[in-house]
Amino acid sequence: MHPRLQFTSPPAFPMSTKLLSSLPQLRRLFTFSALTAIFFSINPFNPSWSSDQRPVSTALDRRPWKDARHAFKGPTDEDARSPCPALNTLANHGFINRSGKEISRSALTSSLTSIYRLSVPLAELLVTGGFLCCADFESEGLSLDALAAHDKIEHDASLVHDNTPLGAAFAPIKVNWTLVNELTTKYPDGLGIRRLSEARATREELSRVEGRPKLDALHGQIAYGEAALTWLVMKDLTSLVRTDTIRQWFGQETFPETFVIPSEEITLHTTSKISSKIGQHMKEFQNHQI
């Protein structure tokens, strides 16, 4: 295994997963996740989590997917994938099980912290949300296709995915390349925070025109968060997400040629700051559209 990826597992949850699965409200789930994140953020007993103890960077260290064992391999028909480009890319490169099935909390958390450089609290928050919404509590771990469950995390007006057909329980997982092409044609110089917000506002507007229900507050926030994380993880030195990044990461679900592991850790605090910026910009665009 690549040395960067040897992380110790986080401690098991103090509560049984059975009890968690019976919590009815997503909102409560997120409160719980936030508390969990805070718990982990002040958790002193595992010094190996500290980001400043990372080994000194080498070329392969900043681009571990260049290692032969982590070469890109698209999913087979039996493999499970999600509507999330970040997670599918991890599976396509074997940083989580290439089958996309039986993914453990610890495998997912450590790949989010090591490859995308999310802080442990932020990774824990996202993974907890994913597991609480979508893991099958009978079997261990998460299957990526379960994340497509409509209106759990998944929502309409995605950037490169079609809306869930009316009445269907699961959203389409396959990327719509027309949407990828539209996005890169409209923003040939790449996307900063404003353009990402405009692109999201455009998709929400289109969804409205098609008579789909407006995203509720929670799913609106989730969508801001996806755009914020995309910018934080994938921006280049000029703070733009390049069109080739959009094509390779959103489209082909592989690591972009120009991508290296971010040099700075991406924290919960930064992500929520950028998320609310995106929310503000989107409101500006929406006010102009009326």
Ligand X SMILES: *[C@@H]1O[C@H](CO)[C@@H](O)[C@H](O)[C@H]1NC(C)=O
The nearer residue to ligand HEM, 147 or 261, going by C-beta atoms, is 147
| Pair of tokens at residue 35 | 């508390």
216, 257, 263, 287 from 290: Cα distances, Å: 19, 40, 41, 6
**Ranges within 174-203 binding ligand X (CB under 6 A):** 176, 178-179
CB 153 within 8 A of CB 226: no
Other CB atoms within 10 Å distance of the CB of residue 288 = 9
Binding status of residue 99 toward ligand X by CB under 6 A: yes
Give the span between the Cα atoms of 164 and 175, in whole angstroms.
Answer: 13
Ordered alpha helix ranges (H), 43-84: 59-62
Q: Residue 178's binding partner, choosing from ligand X, ligand HEM, none, with beta-carbon cut-off 5 to 8 A by kind? A: ligand X
Binding status of residue 106 toward ligand X by CB under 6 A: no
Give the span between the Cα atoms of 222 and 121, in whole angstroms.
Answer: 17
CA 111 to the chain's CA centroid: 12
Question: Among 70, 81, 93, 101, which residue interacts with ligand X (rule: CB under 6 A)?
Answer: 101
Region from 41-49, 87-95, 98-106, 214-222 binding ligand X, contact rule CB under 6 A: 98-106
CB 257 to ligand HEM: min, Å:
18
Q: Which helix (H) or strand (E) holds 37?
A: helix 26-42
Give the span between the Cα atoms of 2 and 65, in whole angstroms.
Answer: 10
Question: Among 61, 102, 145, 244, which residue interacts with ligand X (rule: CB under 6 A)?
Answer: 102
Reduced to 3 DSSP states, what percent helix, strand and coil does the chain have, rounded to the nearest 5?
55, 5, 40
Q: Residue 100's binding partner, choosing from ligand HEM, ligand X, none, with beta-carbon cut-off 5 to 8 A by kind? A: none
The nearer residue to ligand X, 70 or 101, going by C-beta atoms, is 101
Give the span between the Cα atoms of 253 and 247, in whole angstroms.
Answer: 8
Binding status of residue 241 toward ligand HEM by CB under 6 A: no
The nearer residue to ligand HEM, 56 or 103, going by C-beta atoms, is 103
Q: Please list the residues that pair with 142 across neighbouring strands.
A: 103
Binding status of residue 135 toward ligand HEM by CB under 6 A: no
CB 182 to ligand X: min, Å:
7
- Show the binding pattern over residues 43-82: x = contacts ligand X (CB under 6 A), - = does not: ----------------------------------------
Q: Residue 118's binding partner, choosing from ligand X, ligand HEM, none, with beta-carbon cut-off 5 to 8 A by kind? A: ligand HEM
| Pair of tokens at residue 283 | 């409101």
What DSSP designation does 21 have? Answer: H
Binding status of residue 124 toward ligand HEM by CB under 6 A: no
Give the span between the Cα atoms of 120 and 69, in whole angstroms.
Answer: 25
Count helices and strands (H / E) in the chain: 11, 0
What DSSP designation does 175 have? Answer: -
Question: Among 88, 111, 143, 230, which residue interacts with ligand HEM (rule: CB under 6 A)?
Answer: 230
Region from 18-26, 157-165, 253-261, 277-285 binding ligand HEM, contact rule CB under 6 A: 157-165
Binding residues for ligand HEM, rule: CB under 6 A, are 82-87, 112, 116, 118, 126-127, 130, 147, 153-155, 158-161, 171, 226, 229-230, 233
Binding residues for ligand X, rule: CB under 6 A, are 97, 99, 101-102, 162, 176, 178-179
